[in-house]
Homo-oligomer: A and B are copies of this chain.
Amino acid sequence: MRYESGYQGVNMAAVVESVVRLPELRGFVVRCMQAVGATKEHAEPLADLLVSADYRGHYSHGLNRLDMYMKELESGIAVSGDVEPTVVKQTAATALVDGHNVLGPVVGKFCIDLAIAKARTAGIGWVSAKGSNHFGIAGWYSIRASEQGLIGMAFTNTSPLMVPTRAKEVTLGTNPISVAAPANGDSFVLDMATTAVALGKVEIQERKGEEIPLGWAVDKTGTATPNPSAATGLLPLGGTEHTSGYKGYGLGMMVEMFCGIMSGGAYGPHVRKWKTCDKIANLGQCFVAIDPNAFEDGFKDRMTDLIDICRGLQPADGEEEVLIPGDPERKHMQKCDHLGGIPYHPNQIKYANDIAAKYQLDPMEQLK
């Protein structure tokens, strides 16, 4: 759940949006990735992932990231072609996977599908991977399990951006946790960074010339700052120590343990810096699937009841409704369905057209 979904806070009221059908976006991403050397088989999961991110309203992680993935392949810092993730060792319920530096979504899909297969027979599958790359929204993997009636989880480490409680240097990543579970015609989808906010939210406030709440970021002395321009690192979920930020720091370390530490990939400050490509990423990631049928019968009924209880709560004064994790994304998908595709800001369309022109590819068709 990211309540900040949409165009990252930019007021869109006066902008005429273009709408792109989902299959059209998918085809475009596949074309682009193939143009820089991806096989069709590797380009497709990446395309599905980016489509899903934009469809769910997480524009920062969708089409917006296409050039990053293309650059990874073009520069040779990530690979595609005749190479696939492999299982290094396994039990009926666990596996260690080496991604062999293939595109992140290819590694992630391999791992969550392996976890799902193990959950079908052993009740649970827990897969940790090294040698991976950026895998996009963590929710894509957990949802893949929940759509098959299982509980899904996904974790990844990322470039250092978070400053531990009482420290002043970035040491851990935004290290997201995603958990998805099925209900009756419904679902629970938690997809959250273990930092208070994503870096993008601080950057947007800076662009707007507005302050940030104390609890989002620290300056170079390690002190919480209201000034986005002075921010040198993100605070963990919870903010300062006074408001229990050490819990978010602990959760970030937990994610790192499941990812880089468990798999033997890069970890903590050893992960390459954000937006640099000086060395391979060697990200660590973790994927879990659990079969609710291995536990008490009626899981989906109880999950539905809990979801309905939460949505049915009387709103706080000044609020319109109580949501559950996944509802903001659900609203965005309904909007897309109504429009017949994903609405984009003209700048995003221009960005995509520029890529198409550069690689002499057919551009994305727009509905309007």
A248 CB within 8 Å of chain B: yes
Contact A302 B267 (CB under 8 A): yes
Q: Assuming A247-B237, A309-B268, A310-B171, is B295 touching A91 (CB within 8 A)?
A: no
Please, what's the 1-or-0 string for A156-200, where 1 marks a CB less than 8 Å from any CB in chain B? 000000011111110100000101010000001010100011000
Contact A241 B3 (CB under 8 A): yes
Q: Which residues of B contact A318 (CB under 8 A)?
A: 223
Contact B316 A167 (CB under 8 A): yes
Q: Which residues of B contact A315 (CB under 8 A)?
A: 166-168, 222
Contact B192 A247 (CB under 8 A): yes
Q: Which residues of B contact A165 (CB under 8 A)?
A: 322-323
A331 to chain B, nearest CB (A): 14
**Interface-located stretch among A70-78, A99-107, A123-131:** A123-131
A10 CB within 8 Å of chain B: no
Q: Which residue of B lies closest to A326 (CB)?
A: B250
Say which residue of B3, B126, B256, B316 sits within 8 Å of A218 (CB atoms). B316
Contact B257 A151 (CB under 8 A): yes
Say which residue of B246, B298, B309 sits within 8 Å of A1 (CB atoms). B246
Contact B89 A294 (CB under 8 A): yes
A287 to chain B, nearest CB (A): 13
Say which residue of B190, B222, B296 sits within 8 Å of A96 (CB atoms). B296
Complex: A163 Cα to B298 Cα, angstroms: 26
**Interface-located stretch among A18-26, A32-40, A258-266, A272-280:** A258-266
A262 to chain B, nearest CB (A): 5
A355 CB within 8 Å of chain B: no
Contact A221 B126 (CB under 8 A): no
- For window 189-244 of A, CB contacts with B under 8 Å fall at 190, 192, 196-197, 213, 215-216, 218, 221-223, 237-239, 241-244
A324 CB within 8 Å of chain B: yes
Complex: A321 Cα to B238 Cα, angstroms: 19
Contact B319 A253 (CB under 8 A): no
A283 to chain B, nearest CB (A): 14
Say which residue of B122, B188, B223 sits within 8 Å of A122 (CB atoms). B122
A158 to chain B, nearest CB (A): 15
Complex: A191 Cα to B169 Cα, angstroms: 24
Q: Assuming A3-B246, A123-B91, A123-B94, is B166 touching A292 (CB within 8 A)?
A: no
Contact A257 B181 (CB under 8 A): yes
Q: Which residues of B contact A83 (CB under 8 A)?
A: none
Those 4 A-B pairs whose CB atoms lie nearest each other, nearest first: A222-B316, A264-B296, A94-B123, A93-B93
Sample 22 A-B pairs with CB under 8 A, ordered by A number.
Answer: A1-B247, A89-B294, A94-B122, A94-B290, A96-B294, A164-B310, A164-B313, A166-B315, A177-B251, A179-B250, A179-B257, A190-B253, A190-B254, A215-B215, A221-B317, A237-B248, A238-B248, A246-B323, A250-B325, A253-B324, A257-B303, A263-B296
